[in-house]
Structure 1
Amino acid sequence: MKRIGFLSFGHWGPVQGSLTRSARDALLQGIDLAVAAEELGINGAFFRVHHFARQQASPFPLLAAIAARTSRIEMGTGVIDMRYENPLYLAEEAAATDLISQGRLQLGISRGSPEPALHGARYFGYAPAEGEDDAAMARRHTAVFRHAIAGHGVAEADPSFMGGGRGLLPIQPTSPGLPRRIWWGAGTRKTAVWAAEQGMNLMSSTLLTEDTGVPFDQLQAEQISMFREAWAAAGHGFEPRVSVSRSIIPVVDAVDERYFGLRAQVDNRDQVGMLDGALSRFGKSYVGPPDALAEELAQDAAVQAADTVLVTVPNQLGVEYNVKLLGNIAKYVAPAIGWEAPAAQA
């Protein structure tokens, strides 16, 4: 059964037309949107993490607040840039948030995406070791983080404090089940295979940093297929999850028409361009009449291959508009891809 979540980039700023003018607005509106989404039957509330930008940068206070205000909806990230993270502190924060949520945290992590700062992680105190690049450093941090959340010892005990006891101490708290709810944001087929070998779920967005000439959804479906094959070969003993992100805007009334009517009239196709020095393929947006979007998404190969679809929301249009948007997606579009509201599932 398909799951539907929203993915907020958390933009804020005092610009014309924005209803999210400050960081406080972005945080409080994120909580309110998650609460409303749960009432609609939406399965997940996910947030982009981006440093040195007017977006969400420290997700755990937000996710913990959502956990305390809700009872069913998953909450997560898409994605945390592991170059910036102290792996052990991240393990403590993630475990505490997961305990508050009673096991609803779905934590997306990765090497990160292009950013405003030049070598931004260095200002947080992290630089690649000799022979490493940024990607290798992110994977090293990830290995330590995952070792810690699994409850393994990471720090030598002080015998004078421990009454003569020795050994390695684990971080506290720990949260059983959290290690199976870590997702890797993969931008290529090769990275997806690596994530499968490591035993992490797959999070794939509307961008792949490679291009083979086939439509985006087919390239992404191939990425998912390779991930599942590698997962089966690794024999991890549990079923992985796979998410894809899509921009979906059903145009159903005058307000939608005013905001997005022109985009609905544009020939919306994949785009190919250079990003971080790599030829990349960007997925198209789905904007237009709900019945047309439902038909298009039903033919989207990657949407069909994934078990979770994260819908990017225009968060600066405010909570009221985004609740309406999610409601229209749930009513008119999501059933075409195999989603049912939780009440209907029961």
Structure 2
Amino acid sequence: MAEDAAAADLISGGRLQLGISRGSPETALRGSESFGYVPEEGATDADMARDHAAVFRAAIAGAGVAQANPQMTAANGLLAIQPQSPGLSDRIWWGAGTRATAVWTAEQGMNLMSSTLLTEDTGVPFDELQAEQITMFRDAWAKAGWEREPRVSVSRSILPLIDDETRRYFGLRAQADAHDQVGHLDGGLARFGRSFIGSPDQIVAELSKDAAVRDADTVLVTVPNQLGVDFNARILESIAKDIAPALG
């Protein structure tokens, strides 16, 4: 994975923004264990994911990760991955599902990526809880003393109704999906963010009131990829031309 990431970054001219995390709760019971990823005794899958992330980040930063074979090379000690892509280390984002994980992300020096789901709930609207998560991340970043400015992204489900086809697919969902949802997930309460469905002007008005969107520097747009490339290209074009500029 580290070599693939470095190669992709070099090919793209240093434009790779790579998000990693322990993954979302899954329908399979301890599914990762089916592929050999079994936490050590007393550890959780989250602990294991953080350990793996540390190895990955060390590898892309140029640390030696594998012992040299003296029968195959004159090198001694640990070998680094090849190729290397300087600067990639600053473009790793951690997907944080809680405020506490956001603080940990800042302490590790990774950018914050927060999706449309938080695996905790305090009773406040989703955007306010996510904005609190962002504030805690930035406070922890400053406390850690990192020199560079961190980046923060939030994800939003944005579906502009721009023609008969988009209205047919999503028009009836507009009211039902216009509110947060709270449910039990991964052993506790979780809060799901609303969807933004409507005319571009309506979506602009609603997103401009979103506390987390205002605090973040990047918005990731989730789209219904099962409807195909052409459909999603029209949606993304509307977001790029009619929504994003109006939000600044």
The match for 1:322 is 232
The secondary structure found in structure 2 opposite 1:247 is strand
How far, CA to CA, are the matches of 1:272 and 1:121 in structure 2? 26
Aligned residue runs from structure 1 range 1-346, under 5 A: 90-163=1-74, 165-266=75-176, 268-338=178-248
List runs of 5+ in structure 1 lacking aligned partners.
1-89, 339-346
Q: 1:231-266 CA deviation, whole Å, 9 max, x = no partner?
A: 111122111111101011111221221111111243
- Per the TM alignment, residue 267 of structure 1 is displaced from its structure 2 partner at its CA by 6.5
Amino acid aligned to 1:336: A
TM-score (norm 2): 0.95
Rounded to whole Å, the distance in 2 between the matches of 1:149 and 1:210 is 32
Partner of 1:27: none
Q: How many residues align?
A: 248
- The range that moved more, 312-321 or 152-161, is 152-161
Which of 1 and 2 has higher RCO (CA within 8 Å, sep 6+)? Answer: 1
Match of 2:27, SS?
coil
Distance across 2 between alignment mates of 1:97 and 1:293: 34
Does the CA contact (< 8 Å) of 1:303 and 1:337 recur in 2?
Answer: no
What is the aligned-residue identity percentage?
Answer: 70
TM-score (norm 1): 0.69
Shift of 1:207: 0.5
One-letter amino acid of the counterpart of residue 140, structure 2: A
Residue 93 of structure 1 deviates from its aligned partner by: 1.5
Once the two structures are TM-superposed, the CA of residue 108 in structure 1 deviates from its matched residue by: 0.7
RMSD over aligned Cα, in angstroms? 1.4
Given that 2:161 and 2:167 are in contact with CA atoms closer than 8 Å, whether structure 1 keeps it comes out as yes
Instruction: Describe the superposition over 1:113-150 as per-residue Cα deviations: whole angstroms up to 9, x where unpaired.
Output: 12233222222222101221110000111111111110
> Where does structure 2 lack aligned partners over 5 or more consecutive residues?
none
Q: CA deviation at 1:94?
A: 1.2
